[in-house]
A and B are shown apart, each in its own frame.
Chain A
Amino acid sequence: MAKNKYIKIILNAATGISIEVLYAFAIMAGSFLICFLLIR
């Protein structure tokens, strides 16, 4: 039970980190789109 609890904590943290990194990439993608629209 305790082992499962720790696996869940680590999985949640890993998912949280991935979502934060995705957020950063979303901002980069939006900005890249602006570059693309301005220099076509």
Chain B
Amino acid sequence: MILKPHLEDVKIIGYYLGKIIIGLGLFMLIPIICAVAFWEICPMFDFLIAIGITFFTGFVLVRLCFTEKDLNWMQGMIVVSLSWLVAALLGAIPLYLSGHWFSYLDSCFDAMSGFATTGLSLVQDLDHMSYAHNLWRHLIMFIGGQGIVIIALSLFVKGFSGAFKMYVGEARDERVLPNIIHTSRFIWLVSIVYLVLGTLALGIAGILDGMKAYNAFFHGACVFMAAFDTGGFAPQSQNILYYHSMAFEVITVVIMILGAINFKLHYHLWTGNFKELLLNIEMRTFFLTAITTFAITAIGLTTIGAYPDIVALFRKGFYQLISGHTGTGFQTVYAAQFMNEWNDLALTGIIFAMGLGGAVCSTTGAIKMLRIGVIFKGLVEDIKKIMLPEKAIIVEKFHHIKNIFLEDKQVRAALLITLCYLVLYAGGALIGMFCGYPFLQSLFESTSAAANVGLSCGITNSSMPVILKITYIIQMWAGRLEFMSIFTLLGFIVAAIRGK
């Protein structure tokens, strides 16, 4: 028997959702400051309208649903899944008002792509977009990468227990510090330190490449936010290819890899536990999978002679590979080149890399390295069981901050989420084929959306079928939240309809 949810459940969910919406509204003040600085009047009004609607929605929810009760697990999960949907709907308002998107659905697509740190885009005439709107595109990526809930935890939520439940719902099941609110603040500290260093490095590279100082640092900040939060938006329509700069490419590769590292590992490395980098299962797995998938891509590209010299192969092949593996989605080749100049083997290497992703508790999407490592260890344990005598006791362990003995439940959990991702990749590919696109192209784009990568081989554009736009929005949302909070939301809806 399914129990019907109480009105109290709805009130608690509404109250915390309202607080998160108010937090989102506060972030809209940043592009307004930018609009004033660059004296962009129309964009300023776009954001004033959006802030008005956002604050109104947030305050109405907080006022109507006021409660002092803390969240339980179910409510925490539902708040998270709804907050990402509502953030995409509200965050899309200033984008739609800018006139750079053909429809509100298109702007919602880009807003979800930003919040989910994907990077697929349906924008029109990006090269003539205002600074304020362009900053907002990158800011939503930064907000999404940090975690909408992380922001709320840092600013508004005082209760420990409810905070932790929302934190877990946002697919960050690891606490860096014992207190979850301190964890959120540490995540911000790492991001702000790297924001300053990364913007400086990219800004200087831009100036050396001939950009004006204010433009170089604006681009530097935008590109940093998109790289560190493994997003993939860029201020220009040609993406990173616009800069034609090896320095820019090397710096962004470093930032993308830093963004794919577990925040818990950042904490241990920053506090003197340096050997953790060499021992950690995620870092070892990432190193091996990056090299292996690149070898697949490089062999594919070499067989057809796509890039005849070493530097070109490295700059084009490795850049797209690491961009895919870290879930960023920066491109230094045009979408059409993937289909016309790359062969199936090279694309398969990129698809594998996209599907694997970076570390857990980082800003990346996809299956993630810890799960791959745990599944591999589970496989090794099973092979040992077959090879060794029946009475032999086999104990497999892995290192993730500390030595952990492998248990069946860890392997089961890793396999379940991996299976969900594989179904999501395949489901999107099937719908792509249903819309008339070839298999490999559909799988590439579907994996890119579901793994929150953002590399595109050309399917994603404003003229693609509406069903595919909605499919990719759902894939980006589900892939970012790692299913559990979405399954809880679906269960809640079913219980509200059919419960007794």
| Residues from chain B with Cβ under 8 Å of A19 in the complex | 269, 274, 277
Q: How far is the CA of A33 from the CA of B483 in the complex (A)?
A: 38
Q: Is the CB of B290 within 8 A of A12?
A: no
Contact A27–B291 (Cβ < 8 Å): yes
- Contact A17-B310, Cβ < 8 Å, known A27-B290, A38-B299: no
Number of interface residues, chain B, beta carbon within 8 A: 35
Known A-B contacts A12-B271, A20-B269, A24-B253; A32 and B322 likewise in contact (beta carbons under 8 Å): no
Interchain CB contact under 8 A, B270 and A13: yes
Query: Does A39 make an interface contact (CB < 8 A)?
Result: yes
B129 sits at the interface (CB 8 A): no
Tell me the minimal C-beta distance from A39 to chain B in angstroms: 5
Mark each residue of chain B from 264 to 275: 1 if its CB lies under 8 Å from any CB of chain A, else 0.
Answer: 001001111010
Q: Nearest chain A CB to B301's CB is how many angstroms away? A: 9
Bound-state CA distance A23–B302 (Å) is 26
* Given A27-B290, A31-B290, A32-B314, A15 and B254 contact (CB-CB distance below 8 Å): no
Report A26 CB to chain B, min CB distance, Å: 7
* A13 CA / B321 CA spacing, docked (Å): 29
Given contacts A20-B258, A20-B269, A39-B302, contact A28 B318 (CB under 8 A): yes
Chain B residues whose CB sits within 8 angstroms of the CB of A13 once the complex forms: 193, 270-271
User: What is the minimal beta-carbon distance from B150 to any residue of chain A, in angstroms?
Assistant: 20
Tell me whether B322 and A20 are in contact (CB under 8 A): no
State whether the Cβ of B429 lies closer than 8 Å to any Cβ in chain A.
no
Q: Given the complex, which residues of B lie within 8 Å of A38, measured CB to CB?
A: 298-299, 302, 313
Q: Which residue among B290, B314, B317 has the maximum number of chain A CB atoms within 10 Å of its CB?
A: B314
Q: Identify A16's interface contact among B269, B310, B314, CB under 8 A.
A: B269
At the interface, yes or no: B361 with Cβ under 8 Å from chain A? no
**With A36-B310, A38-B313 as contacts: A24 and B257 at CB distance below 8 Å:** yes
Interface contact B269-A34, CB-CB below 8 Å: no
Q: Is the CB of B298 within 8 A of A28?
A: no
Number of interface residues of A (CB under 8 A): 22
* Bound CA–CA A16/B373 (angstroms): 23
Residue pair B314, A27 in contact (C-beta under 8 Å) = no
Knowing A35-B310, A38-B299 are in contact, say whether A16-B257 is a contact too (CB < 8 A).
no
- A17, B270: Cβ atoms closer than 8 Å: yes
Option from B266, B277, B313 in Cβ contact (under 8 Å) with A35:
B313
Contact A16 B266 (CB under 8 A): yes
Which of B271, B283, B318 has most A Cβ within 10 Å? B318
User: A13 to B447, alpha carbons, bound, how many Å?
Assistant: 36
Interface bits B295-315 vs A (CB < 8 Å: 1, else 0): 100110010000011110110
B294 on interface, CB distance cutoff 8 Å: yes
A21 at the interface (CB under 8 A from B): yes
CB pair A32 B257 closer than 8 Å: no
Docked Cα-Cα span, A27 to B260, in Å, equals 13
Determine if B266 and A20 form an interchain contact, defined as CB atoms under 8 angstroms apart: yes
Shortest C-beta distance, B2 to chain A (Å), equals 48
Knowing A23-B257, A23-B283, A28-B250, say if A35 contacts B317 (CB, 8 Å).
yes
Report B276 CB to chain A, min CB distance, Å: 9
Instruction: Please judge, given known A-B contacts A24-B253, A27-B322, A28-B250, whether A39 and B272 are in contact too, CB under 8 Å.
Output: no
A31 adjacent to B294 (CB under 8 Å): yes
Taking A23-B257, A27-B257, A27-B287 as contacts, is the C-beta distance between A35 and B318 under 8 angstroms? yes
Contacts of A35 in B (CB 8 A): 298, 310-311, 313-314, 317-318
Chain A residues contacting B193 (CB-CB under 8 Å) are: 13, 17
Most chain B CB inside 10 Å of its own CB: which residue of A12, A20, A35: A35
Contact across chains for B250 and A12 when beta carbons are under 8 A apart: no
Does A31 lie within 8 Å of B291, measured CB to CB?
yes
The residue from B261, B269, B291, B310 contacting A30, defined by CB atoms under 8 A apart: B291
Bound together, the chains give a CA A27 to CA B326 distance in angstroms of 12
Q: Are B274 and A16 in contact (CB under 8 A)?
A: yes
Residues from chain B with a CB closer than 8 A to the CB of A30 are: 287, 290-291
Tell me, in angstroms, the Cα distance from A21 to B266 when the chains sit together: 12
Contacts A35-B310, A39-B313 known; A23 to B270 CB distance under 8 Å?
no
Q: Is the pair B274, A15 in contact by a Cβ cutoff of 8 Å?
A: yes
List, sorted by A's number, 8 A–B pairs whose CB atoms are closer than 8 Å: A15-B274, A20-B266, A21-B258, A25-B254, A28-B318, A31-B290, A32-B310, A39-B308
What are the 3 tightest A-B residue pairs by CB atom distance, in nearest-first order?
A16-B269, A16-B270, A24-B257
Inter-chain pairs besides A20-B266, A32-B310, 7 sampled, C-beta below 8 Å: A15-B272, A15-B274, A27-B291, A31-B294, A31-B322, A35-B317, A36-B310
